[in-house]
Amino acid sequence: MTKTPSTPSPATGDPVDSEETFAVPTVNADLDEHEPEPEDLPDDRFLDRELSWLAFNERVLELAEDEGTPLLERARYLAIFASNLDEFFMVRVAGLKRRIAAGFAVPSSTGISATRLVEMLTDRAHVLMDRHAAVFQDHVAPALSEQGIWLVRHDDLGSSEQERLRKLFRSDIFPVLTPLAVDPAHPFPYISGLSLNLAVELRDPDSGKDLFARVKVPETLPRFLSVDSEGHAAQVTDASALDDEPRSFVPLEDVIAAHLDYLFPGMEVVSHYTFRVTRNEDVEVEEDDAENILKAMEKELLRRRFGPAVRLEVVTNLPTSIKERLVRELGVTDHDVFELDAPLDLTGLTVIADLDRPRLQFPAFRPTTHHQLAPVETADEQNIFQAIRRGDVLLHHPYDSFSTSVQAFLAQAAVDPRVLAIKQTLYRTSGDSPIVDSLIEAARNGKQVVALVEIKARFDEQRNISWARKLEQAGVHVVYGLVGLKTHCKLSLVVRQEESGLVRYCHVGTGNYHPKTARLYEDYGLLTNNPQVGSDLTKLFNQLSGYAPKAKFRRLIVAPTGVRKSLIERINAEAENARNGKEAWVKIKVNSIVDEKTIDALYRASEAGVTVELVVRGICAVRPGVPGLSENIRVRSVLGRFLEHSRVYAFCNDGEPDVFIGSADLMHRNLDRRIEALISIEDDQQRANLIENIDMAMSPEFSGWELGEDGLWTRTTAQEDTERLKDVQETYIRRQPKRRAKGK
């Protein structure tokens, strides 16, 4: 077992069927609004959200450290850790620094000042990045070498291999490079965020003058170059297409560095060192002041490229003079400098992880078609609408195929002559998405098609703008949601003319309409033609595309006005049942839980005797197991080959469980600044399945991490250090075909 430090800091009735009013929040999106501390609860009852996030990323790192993880998957986890940390600095650390600089920083709910928190985060990041580099250098890279996958430096290659790389450099790399001199006539160049660069020291042989230059490693070229056993060199654009013979992989920057004489002919190359910069790349759009949100977003994306630097990564042997120059020119502090063994930027290890070496990867997995959607021979035409009419379909991705369920639902709707209209929310999707293609085809077939596009989806903004315009050009009515609120709910509505009249078919999910991530993310979705759900979705889409500030929902709970209120009422109802001697429990599965009001409700429920079980993948501000406060609260985390992404809320409800799935996490942004939707699950078997899945994640029979009252996450992978515990995700993979055969 290992410990992960995370520094701690300080209902009955029917609320679903109530009026909800949408209004633009007045609170600044960068500031958390906290009400006065309840007098009956301790001040130190919350864990810090940012430190908790670092603890989550450390859990990812532990998967890379685990020798029981397949080797190439360990390399993938190293890449994921690096990518996660990049985003953390670009958004969270950058946001804190921006608030400090603007004078708007306020202490967090834990009482830690923003300045102190940045120091703590940076200190912790130094430790984790050093550990990350050591895992690669001391464990993963040597293990890869034993399998004939050598990650080597250019100087380690033989002369024939170096000659092959020289030819490749001259033909494919040299024409792309642009050396930039730094002297009185050439100011220090702008260094783009996350770019890998070479700092080059030169000497003029005629004058003996020392010079400085920068060479950017092109992002358009593959991160690693491959050299096979016969010395043939090639760019690696699709590692899965490479054969399984032994081969070496050389970082692109090493090859560039070895041929700097081509870039600076006539100059003496004294030395060269790699460095990498992380910048503030969060997006701020005051859309209520913007005449056109699309143009405003494009302008903001252009500005984002020039955000201030927040982190500088350099190699350990970097001379002090160059380090001081970079610190000065980039405007960072010494504390923001991370000295690491080369190679920098291990996000590129995804290329290695994708090699076609099945025995070094997780066993192959193919999603299965949900048994309710499997073809059934009938007298009528076979289609997905028939299957939905037979009963609600609860999907569990990636175990249930996305392509034969949600994707097929929209594809059939696009060509079905009886379908009159399709309404769809899109938060993230792939550039070549069949979902987008189906919407375009439907519009071209004369159907009324509305797409609610969230162009402020972080780091997908440019992509979303591109295909939003593609949709508009095809005749789709594209709506960009409500001012001040992100549209994060996952909804599809298909209106179909049938013999009985108009029937509305719906999909409400926990994950994005993204066919690629649907194979990697664990999510739930409900397909139904229930009239109440159809009515709810119609009202919600009308609110999002028109003027309908008030509505009553029957099966949906909608943020920003209803989710927190409804969940707290249900938690309070469990507390009242416990006080009356009735069975009472709350089971929640989310990505993150930070919202103080909800957490306080859980604390009071625990004090009343309610059993509270939380499955939290990422950030968790709950401090469980504290006597007199939260001794009835347990928190576990599950990480694995799939990213746990679903949100499930279940309540005992006096023996008649109340269960919801949906898009909302328990965070301020989800509850206050986004359009989110939860849907109640009505089928008894489906409710039981959802509850059972949470129980599995909480069971000591399965591996996972448990959060202690001290803020430390403890991982358990084996019983008494012998037999490895069962894995939740692998259990789903094995049981899925059996459950489908039994029709569950």
- Distance, CA of 177 to CA of 107 (rounded, Å): 46
Q: Point out which residues pair with 704 in neighbouring strands.
A: 716
In Å, what is the CA distance from 735 to each residue of 230, 374, 702, 742?
45, 18, 15, 11
Which residue in the block uniquely carries the two structure tokens 């580099």? 133
210, HSE (Cβ side, Cα atoms, 13 Å): 6
520 vs 397: CA distance, rounded Å: 8
- List CB contacts of 122: < 8 A, sequence separation 6 or more: 93, 335, 336
Cite the DSSP H helix spans in 316-428.
Answer: 320-330, 350-353, 384-389, 406-415
* Identity of the residue numbered 312: L
Spatial distance between the Cα atoms of 503 and 508, rounded to a whole number of angstroms = 16
| Amino acid present at 256 | I
- Angle (deg, nearest 10), helices 461-473 and 434-444: 20
Token pair in block for residue 360: 């070094």
CA 212 – CA 202 distance, rounded (Å) = 6
Closest CA to 590 of 599, 581, 577, 603: 599
**What tokens does 351 get?**
């290329």
Cite the beta strand spans of 75-195 per DSSP E: 149-151, 179-182
Q: Angle 442-447-453 (CA atoms, 0-180°, nearest 5)?
A: 65
Q: Are β-strands 643-644 and 556-559 bridged in parallel, bridged antiparallel, or unpaired?
A: unpaired
Q: Which two tokens stand for residue 556?
A: 């949906």
Those residues whose C-beta lies under 8 Å from the C-beta of residue 110, and which sit 6 or more positions away, are 8, 9, 10, 44, 46, 47, 48
Instruction: Tell me if 221 sits within 8 A of 255, measured CB to CB.
Output: no
* Residue 518: both structure tokens together: 């649907």
Write a three-state SS string for 728-739: HHHHHHHHHHHH
Catalytic residue among 154, 272, 370, 488: 488
Contact predicate 107/9, CB 8 Å: no
| Residue 477 is among the residues annotated as catalytic for this protein | no
d(CA 318, CA 323): 7
Tell me which residues are annotated as active site.
Answer: 488
